[in-house]
Structure 1
Amino acid sequence: MMALALTALAAGLLLAHLVAVGLYLHRLGRKAPAKGVIGQPFVTLLRPVCGVDAFDEETLQSSFDQDYPRYEIIFCAQTSDDPVIALVNQLIARNPHVPARLLIGMDRISGNPKLNNVLKGWNAASGDWVCMTDSNLMLPPDYLATVVGSWGPATGLVSSPPVGSRPQNLGGLLECAFLNSNQALLQHAAASVGPAYAQGKTLFFNKPLLEHAGGLRELGQTLAEDAAATQITRALGREVTLTPLPFAQPIGRRSMVQVWNRQLRWSRVRRDAFPVLFAFEVLNGGVVPVAAAFGAVMLTRADPVFGLVYAAVWYLSEVFVAARAGWPSGLWAVPVLLLRDLMMMPIWLATFLRRGFDWRGTTLSPSSSALPAE
């Protein structure tokens, strides 16, 4: 009986994994959307900035390189002594062909520093359509056209998870393993078969629609603005729509501690925002299904090669989709994927130790503040 249960569990999880891979491979063949139901309206590209990271000049410059007819850029910084201000001013002067400005200051409307930072830009937006985009996201030239074109008849928000690119050490590779063939893959699979979930790297709003629901202040009522945006959009009877494919975030170097802390933060966000869904995350990754497969092999005294074949199919399918998608990949990635999966259960368990956490020196908790997407 136990052998049958383990076999069924292993088979079911492998099937779900391969379906997710297949759904993403199908997305790779889709073209970027042309003009959607809203045409090509004037868009405010809203980019909060804070400090200078390794790839900031490239990622912020990509704001000016959009193949989109009518848009403006509003950069938002919290303090006048932020070192990123000099870089932003240089970029604005270097690209006079695009209307752009930098606003400085912070309006405390929530415990979420990001929302407090971008409120001034939100209020200054010249039109009804606002695309809030993190400063460390690399925007391809068709970024705005793709986001705008993804808005459908039932859409209330367009979003996209990031995928990691350009890792420079083991921690960077591990971050890519979490972001790419796990999180982005699963988010897009969910969007292909059911309701989608927003991710804060890209949030494209109809400003009057969100203002009707309470505006940015309402986004600050939960641990993360993307989780709040998902809940608000559904409460309005509308859908979160994902772009056909995700956009890249250069990763560079990451320490193992940074990777752990980031994944633990977002695990706690998911637990508080979507507790029922989070309960099933204990099955995420390859550890549980591979263990179930080997358990079934041992109980039935079958050839251990069947367990090895099972593990190979699981991980090589991830390597294959990463290669097809242009993500960091290769047979060398298998040990990194194994390390990622071995971390998932401890992260899931550690999520329950406390409900608050520190983010860039700010202590955040569900009762007092919200976590800005990073």
Structure 2
Amino acid sequence: MTIEHRDLLKLTLASASLIWYAFLWSLGVLGCIAAYGLDTNLYENLESTFTQEYPNYEIFFCVDDEDDQALNVVRDLMTKYPTVNAHIAIRNGATVGVNPKVNNLMTAYHQTAHDILWVLDSNVMVDPGTLARSVDILNPPPDAPNPPRRRIGVVHHVPYAWVTKHSSGSRVEEAFLNTNHAKMYIAINTVAVDSCVVGKSCLYRKSDLDRVDGSLKPIPNADNGGCQPGERGLAAFGRFLAEDNMIAGALWHELGLRHDLSCDVAKNAVGNMSLMDYVARRIRWVRVRKRMVLAATLAEPFTESVLAGVLASVGLRYLTGISSWLFIPVHFGVWLFVDMDVFASLAGHPVPANMRWQFLAAWAARELIALPIWFMAIVGNEVEWRGKRYEVMENGEVRRVGEGPRGITGWFMRWGRKTTDYYEPLETQE
């Protein structure tokens, strides 16, 4: 390679790093701007479904068996709110796939009287007006201004973490979900070039779900009521670990429906999570995403503050001579400022003064360990969820494998293993 060619390559790489950096900032700022306007323990979470300001709805509390410890809380709430049409739906061993959440939901899915389904995790608390506002988005009135070009198929809510037990992992999870994750999640959904849904709180129509199968293949006559051949509906998604993302993707790609975010947040209670729990959880979902959206997962490290900042500083130094020691502190300072602004938009207030240093430490830890976690996750395909091990297949499906994860990532999973999952202990469907 000649000197001229080397210089041209360096110039191209330096320019590309700055162009990517500018694009990444534009996406982050978009998420920050769009976050404005968002509203701000088991008993309180489940009670929030009883207090919805909506005239006609029913609640199904979906559990695995009659010995579920949450049923005592459910029965207390049903006694407290006798006028609310609430039911207990027990799985009793019925299985449609490897996903336990889908298995738990199937009894209620067959018993629902209404077409609109609202699937909520049990650690989610919602505002009393959330259901009404979400239904208005899913079914806009005929005279609504600026009607959507495509019919809305999914209404979802931004997850907002609130810590109930102040451990290292729960603090890092809070810092991640309420800053970087929320910023990118809102920005991607604002751009809306593809499906991107976290299923903590989602509304969709059963009549739409009954037409799709998770193949993501467009239905030729979808606008005229066409459907996929073979197994369809919720049962068809029991083969996926990330059934929420696959359902949203199926409605998007198979039926041509779009998604929309409500102005509400899904308040997620985070329990006593250790740092190893956090690492194992992130490894699990990176591996799931890798099998579902490989290109986006491979690009993920370049969206993080550390790698993006380093690459931009090298490119800027080559093109302009500006020292990296000057650029890097400014980069992280502005990045932190935007993330703190996103947190304030979600919470309705800044980080409390008495918790500010703990939050900043958790934020810094999250930024520093993001790349090592990604490297550990990208080299394997096995994940652990609720004490069971699965292999994630090429199309996003999973299959059960033998007990006990192996390798270096298995060490993290073993140390991070608990008897409960902090985000899906019980599923609720309205």
1:87 aligns to what?
A: 73
Instruction: Give the conservation status (yes or no) of the 8 Å contact 2:178–2:346.
Output: no
SS at match of 2:87: strand
**Cα distance in structure 2, aligned partners of 1:370 and 1:228:** 16
CA distance in 1, matches of 2:39, 2:48: 21
Find the counterpart in structure 1 of residue 346 from structure 2: 325
Point out the more displaced range, 209-218 or 325-334.
325-334
The counterpart of 2:37, out of the listed 13, 24, 29, is: 29
* From 16, 20, 34, the counterpart of 1:12: 20
Counterparts of 1:295 and 1:259 in 2: how far apart (Å)?
31
Give the whole-Å Cα distance in 1 for the aligned partners of 2:336 and 2:24.
14
1:230 aligns with: 248
In the aligned structure 1, how far is the partner of 2:22 from the partner of 2:361?
Answer: 19
Task: Provide, for residues 279-314 of structure 1, a one-character-per-residue CA deviation record: whole Å limited to 9, x for no partner.
Answer: 111213211122224435665653432332122112
Residue 247 of structure 2 is aligned to residue 219 of structure 1 = no
**Distance of 1:186 and 1:59 partners within structure 2:** 26
Hey, what does 1:202 align to over in structure 2?
Answer: 201
Amino acid at match of 1:277: A
The 2-side partners of 1:145 and 1:312 are apart by 39
Once superposed, what is the RMSD of the aligned Cα atoms?
Answer: 2.7
Aligned partner of 2:228 in structure 1 is: none
**Where does the alignment leave 5 or more consecutive residues of structure 1 unmatched?**
33-54
Could you give the per-residue CA deviations for residues 186-218 of structure 1, whole angstroms, max 9, x where no partner exists? Answer: 111011112341211122121111112211122
Report what 1:166 is aligned to. Answer: 163
Give the direction of change, closer, same or farther, for the CA distance of 1:24–1:293 in structure 2 (3 Å limit). Answer: closer
Length-normalised TM-score, structure 2: 0.75
Q: Deviations over 1:264-288 (max 9, x none)?
A: 1111111111112111112132111
Q: Which SS does the other structure have where 2:270 is aligned? A: strand
Partner of 1:71: 57
Q: Distance in 2 between matches of 1:82 and 1:31?
A: 32
Give the structure 1 partner of residue 266 of structure 2: 247
1:225–1:370 contact (8 Å) kept in structure 2: no
Report the CA distance between 1:350 and its aligned residue.
1.5
**Deviation string, structure 1 residues 16-38 (Cα, Å, up to 9, x no partner):** 23542344323423799xxxxxx
Match of 1:302?
Answer: 322
Taking a change above 3 Å as real, the CA distance of residues 324 and 133 of structure 1, as seen in their structure-2 partners, is closer
Residue 5 (structure 1) shift: 3.4
Question: Is contact 1:14-1:289 (8 Å) kept?
Answer: no
Q: Give the residue type in structure 2 aligned to 1:347.
A: I
- CA 3–295 in structure 1, closer or farther in 2 if over 3 Å, else same: farther
% identical equivalent positions:
26
Corresponding residue SS for 2:84? coil
Match of 1:356 in 2: 382
Equivalent of 1:274 in 290, 293, 296 = 293
Distance 2:61 2:111 in 1: 11
Which residues of structure 2 form unaligned runs of 5+? 1-6, 139-147, 213-231, 401-420, 425-430
User: By how many angstroms is 1:3 displaced?
Assistant: 7.1
Query: Which one has a bigger Cα radius of gyration?
Result: 2
Contact in 2 for aligned 1:198/1:229 (Cα 8 Å): no
Distance 1:338 1:318, change over 3 A: same
Is the 1:137–1:250 Cα contact (8 Å) retained in structure 2?
Answer: yes
SS in 2 for 1:146: helix
Are 2:35 and 2:342, in contact at CA under 8 Å, matched by a contact in 1?
no
Sort the Cα spacing of 1:23 and 1:184 in 2 relative to 1 into closer, same or farther, 3 A. closer
Contact 2:155 2:204 in 1 (8 A): yes
Secondary structure in structure 2 of the residue aligned to 1:9 = helix
**SS of alignment partner, residue 111 of structure 1:** coil
Q: 2:340, 2:35 → 1: CA distance?
A: 17
Per-residue CA distance 1:116-150 (angstroms, 9 max, x = gap): 01100011101111111110001111121122122
Alpha-carbon separation, structure 1, partners of 2:197 and 2:171 = 24
Query: How many positions carry a matched residue from both structures?
Result: 352
Q: 2:302 aligns with which of 276, 283, 286?
A: 283
Matched ranges for 1:152-163 at <5 A = 153-163=150-160
- When residues 311 and 125 of structure 1 are mapped into structure 2, their CA distance, relative to the original with a 3 A threshold, is same
CA distance in 2, matches of 1:10, 1:240: 32
Q: Is the 8 A contact 2:160 2:346 kept in 1?
A: no
